[in-house]
Structure 1
Amino acid sequence: MTATHVEERGAVDPRIARSRAKLMAAAREILVEGGASALTVDAVADRSGVAKSTLYRHWPSRAALVIDVFRTVMPVTDAVDDSLPFEAALRAHVRSVATSFADTEWTRMLPALFSLRQEFPEIEELILADRREHLESFAALLDLGTAQGSLPAGLDPDVVVAALVGPSFMLALIGDLDRSLEAADYVVDRFLTSYGGPRPTDV
């Protein structure tokens, strides 16, 4: 039985957990410092102080390691709270997305992510899965807004996601993380106003 299978069943040997954590930390550091080309099995083993044979017990290949690294740092946002009034639910969710994009480890990994997505189709799948989750969340929000009479029916979730999340993602790309929540509030204000909602707050 592999270490991964043992971990999935919850019976984790502390030594296995420690070696895996060291290897993952080393892989993330190498990606940030040297980019995609620097992330080799030898480099990760050397940086972590963990033997290559142990690395291969966790991941059968470099590709499996790369995918796991990005899987662990993909932004996580809160689920839509449909018990809230639409405006409150929308503001809370857009702020949650903005906060997840402003995670420093994630933003430092973005250049490597864009570089490696061509080499590893699994990374593209991770990105698409993340996008689908955002679309589903915003589709639920649009349905809530329509049901509560705040939005017209038929708004395209793709367009709404681009409008409401795009500015925060752009700030993450350029490293201007301190303004993520400000941008989130700004675009929500304008979005709501365009459909007859509250007047924008001063930002």
Structure 2
Amino acid sequence: MPSDSSTGRPVGRGAKVRTAVHAATLAELVDKGYAALTVENIAQRAGVHKTTVYRRWKDRESLLTDALAEHMATDIPVPDTGALETDLRALARSIVQAFNSPAGQAILAAMFTGAAHLPEIAAARRHVFDDRLARAQPVVTRAVERGQLPEGTDPAELLKTLAAPIYLRLLITAEPVDEATADQTVRVTLAAARAGALRPVRDDPPVGE
């Protein structure tokens, strides 16, 4: 088995291979961008043969999707502080911190600029954010159970409301984001949720029925 050019040590099997390949994928993405991302370079950087990669992932898009989802899951952990406000503050600040990092900037560029037009990357983007929403929803359901939010609060809508101002600045207005940005979006989200504005939208029946 080939060895990593920087360490000279071969990579083991199973989970170690997956971890090494994920790390190499993100490192290549940061260093070279999506356009120059190849399975061959990823394999060389991870210290494995490219056939080892292809046994687990059919192409670079499926590998990138898997690596991004895993990175987002670990780099933006789901907090459980016992109080909704501190949970949301920790979550929002971790999003800001993650996307201010070199890896975060490379991920945003891959998902929303250079490769955004590719169906595979659009699917990867949906997968990554669906995964993030699913992992973070317990923050909201616990708050409802504790009586900190109205019954019927939609976890997905609350989390989208929390993240939207951050992504607006990152992707549309190109404004800097920091802890103050995170804290402000928490205040707005809490105000909307406590007012009952983040319940599921139901269509009103037509007039006269």
**TM tier, shorter chain?**
0.5 to 0.7
Given the alignment, which residue of 50, 56, 63 partners 1:68? 63
CA contact (8 A) 1:79 1:137 kept: yes
How do 1:111-122 residues align onto structure 2 when only pairs under 5 Å count?
111-114=109-112, 115-116=114-115, 119=118, 121=120
Map of 1:201 onto structure 2: none
* Unpaired segments ≥5 residues, structure 2: 4-9, 196-209
How do 1:13-32 residues align onto structure 2 when only pairs under 5 Å count?
25-26=27-28, 28-31=30-33
Deviation at 1:88, TM superposition (A): 1.9
Cα distance per residue 1:90-140 (max 9 Å; x no partner)? 22222222322322222134233344365463x445433322333234432
Tell me which amino acid in the other structure corresponds to 1:79.
V
* Unpaired segments ≥5 residues, structure 1: 197-203
Given the alignment, which residue of 149, 152, 165 partners 1:151? 149
Given the alignment, which residue of 7, 24, 34 partners 2:13? 7
Map of 1:79 onto structure 2: 78
How do 1:16-55 residues align onto structure 2 when only pairs under 5 Å count?
25-26=27-28, 28-31=30-33, 35-36=34-35, 38-39=36-37, 44=41
Deviation at 1:143, TM superposition (A): 1.7
Mean alpha-carbon deviation: is it higher for 179-188 or for 97-106? 97-106
User: TM-score w.r.t. structure 1 length?
Assistant: 0.63
CA contact (8 A) 2:137 2:155 kept: yes
Given the alignment, which residue of 87, 90, 93 partners 2:91? 93
Instruction: Supply the RMSD in Å over aligned alpha carbons.
Output: 4.1
Task: List structure 1 runs of 4+ shifted beyond 6 angstroms.
Answer: 1-5, 19-24
Tell me which amino acid in the other structure corresponds to 1:146.
V
How do 1:120-199 residues align onto structure 2 when only pairs under 5 Å count?
121=120, 123-173=121-171, 176-177=175-176, 179-194=177-192, 195=194
Distance, in Å, in 2 between the alignment partners of 1:185 and 1:57 is 46
Larger fraction in helix? 1
**Counterparts in 2 of 1:80 and 1:119: CA distance versus 1, 3 Å:** same
* Equivalent pairs, count: 177
User: TM-score w.r.t. structure 2 length?
Assistant: 0.61
Mean alpha-carbon deviation: is it higher for 99-108 or for 182-191? 99-108
Cα distance per residue 1:126-162 (max 9 Å; x no partner)? 4333223332344322222222222111122332122
SS in 2 for 1:60: helix
CA contact (8 A) 1:80 1:89 kept: yes
CA contact (8 A) 2:79 2:139 kept: yes
Give % identity: 20
Distance, in Å, in 2 between the alignment partners of 1:137 and 1:41 is 29
